[in-house]
Amino acid sequence: MKEINCLGKRCPLPIIETAKAIKELHPGDSVHLLADDPATEVDLRAWARMTGNQMRVSAPNEFLITKSKVD
């Protein structure tokens, strides 16, 4: 699984990096995001709602994002 390290990076960078990584994946594949900006969780949730992908918090400052559909 691809890992993106955005620790220390401010939003929207973690979301931009996630979107870039997801683009290269097939539906059903996931990326693992490390990010500690306090806006990450709420923004990632909103991003998932807006783009039709899925996300969950897997540990503090760690997120699992799954591509749900073909671009």
Please give the residue ranges that form the binding site for another protein (CB under 8 A): 10-12, 15-16, 19, 37-39, 42-43, 45-47, 49-51
Minimum CB–partner distance for residue 58 and another protein (Å): 20
CB of 2 or CB of 20, closer to another protein: 20
Query: How far is the C-alpha of 42 from the C-alpha of 27, rounded, in Å?
Result: 23
Query: How far is the C-alpha of 60 from the C-alpha of 26, rounded, in Å?
Result: 26
47 phi/psi in degrees, rounded to 5: -60, -45
Minimum CB–partner distance for residue 64 and another protein (Å): 19
18 phi/psi in degrees, rounded to 5: -65, -45
Catalytic residue among 9, 11, 13, 43: 11
Catalytic-residue membership of 11: yes
- Residues involved in catalysis: 11
